[in-house]
Chain A
Amino acid sequence: MLYLITKWFGTFLHDGEKIKKQIVFPKDEEEIVKRLIKIDRGEILPEEWDICRDVTDDVIVNERRLQKIGMFFPSNLFFKKLDVDPNSFGFSIDLLNRVSCLLAEKKTRERLMAEDIQIIQMVNALDDLIQTCNLFSERLNHWSLVSTSEEKISSFRNIFDSVKKEINRLEKQIEEDMKRIAPNISRVVGPLIGARLIALSGSLEHLATLPSSTIQILGAEKALFKFKKDGGKPPKHGIIFQHPLIYRSPKAKRGKIARKLAAKISIAAKADFFTKKDISDLLIADLNRQIGVIKNQ
């Protein structure tokens, strides 16, 4: 009986007393990271296939991903005692340090992107659905005016209803995810506008580094472009116009309020991305005070 064990520096077959067979990895951080990423994804390494080739003994493994190579006994006691010393194969802690930094860097980048990409995709899907919903509702109105039997319309109406349901579901999901990933932004402008801001800037990281004057007009790129080309008035607000603080305010005060709101969003984004501290109570209190002042002017 042989135990198969893979460590960051190689793969080994152990008979319970000593190592019977070994394949060590190249002493190169990129090469090692490549293998660790494969392992992370649940794949079997070529070295692991190779070491078991031509072996007649039963092979025991304690990782599910190795089930194709050996018998899977995750709680086998021997694995608990078994350890292979990297130093005895010439692999130093310095190399492991470089390997783990590189691997962790790749994983953090992937994770951060994955979270943002989810939100961005959901926001885009939501906008598609809203547009579809508007088209459907217009079509239904026209159709019911000229239709003689309700029956023909009803299956179309069913699709319309499920689109509306899907809009609700997506909105809830976005709200939930936003509250987890960006609690401060969610409190300050609401999770949906917040999600659109992330989508417009490309990522939470990018939003956190934008100046608040840019955040103020995110989503008004067309108007800004027109202003640069033809002159006239620059846009005072982009997507944040959808916030009631702005569209419910008198026109003359919207620009000032938009500036204050954008400044708070900028701080909120920095807190969400860098410090992960919930400072939303402070931000909201401060914002309300500033807006009170503007309204009384």
Chain B
Amino acid sequence: MRPTGIPGVFRENNKLFTENLESCRGIQVYNEKLVSINDKELRSWNPYRSKLAAAILKGLKNINITSKSEILYLGAATGTTVSHISDIVKDGAVYSVENSPVALKQLIKLSRKRHNIIPIMADASHPEKYSHIVPHVDFIYQDISQRNQADIFIKNVDRYLKKAGYGIMMVKARSIDVSLKPKDAYDMVINKLIEHKVKIIKTIDLAPYEKDHVSIMISL
């Protein structure tokens, strides 16, 4: 087991782990393995369930998140990835936006155990609706598989991302346009980001963990 350069994230061969929150010892979120090493408890991070884990295994070295970061997460679903980010930003916060009430029910349960998750029931395409809760953040994460996800991402970056902030967008080619080749769908998204003065840092294909998906890392 060795550190990855990302605080709170460890690696053994092709397996990733995050250090469990002190207050959540012994609690699994999605049946992941718990491992105790020295005085730490580590949770295995499944790249087939979480695209961020896939991106890290595929070579994303610096995600520019520290233990104090404040993150805006769009498309939190039931909180699989959110829980690992919550491990990483143990002294920060994950503002987790999700608009499906059924998914949110489970996310709320998770948030009751994890003090740094702020669950928000809202549509990410109306960022003004959560401005009373969300502050300016260090990082914006988006995984919503919607055709207009680039527009939604830009609106949120514009409103909430700090000047020196970063972000990641997970893009599924099929949700952008089924009739396009994946490469062309990604280019469409990337061009839209560049048009809005967002800088592209790195694009990573998530195969074999996800088919026809990329992660796009950006900064302002």
Contacts and interface: CB of A to CB of B under 8 A. Distances in A.
Interface of A: 6-8, 36, 39-40, 63, 74, 80, 83, 85-86, 93-94, 96-97, 100-101, 103-105, 107-109, 111-112, 273-274, 276
Contacts, number: 69
B121 interface: yes
Contacts of B120: 100, 104
A29 to B, nearest CB: 12
Contacts of B133: 7-8, 36, 96, 100
A96 B136 CA distance: 15
Contact of A93 (B102, B116, B121): B116
Contacts of B111: 97, 100-101, 104
A148 B119 CA distance: 70
Contacts of A63: 128, 131
Contacts of A8: 132-133
Contact of A108 (B104, B115, B136): B104
A137 B108 CA distance: 53
B93 interface: yes
A8 B118 CA distance: 12
B132 A97 contact: no
B139 to A, nearest CB: 16
B105 A108 contact: yes
A101 B112 contact: yes
Contacts of B121: 103-104, 107-108, 111
A80 B131 CA distance: 11
Given A36-B132, A96-B93, 7 more contacts: A7-B135, A36-B133, A74-B128, A100-B118, A100-B119, A100-B120, A104-B104
Contacts of A276: 100, 102-103
A97 B103 CA distance: 18
Nearest to A205: B102
Nearest to A6: B132
B24 to A, nearest CB: 13
A39 B104 CA distance: 21
A109 B128 CA distance: 22
B101 interface: yes
A101 B101 CA distance: 13
B93 A93 contact: yes
Contacts of B116: 93, 97
B128 A93 contact: no
Interface string B94-136: 0000001111110110011011111111000000110111011
Contacts of A101: 108, 111-112, 119
A278 B102 CA distance: 15
Nearest to A63: B128
A8 B134 CA distance: 9
A64 B25 CA distance: 45
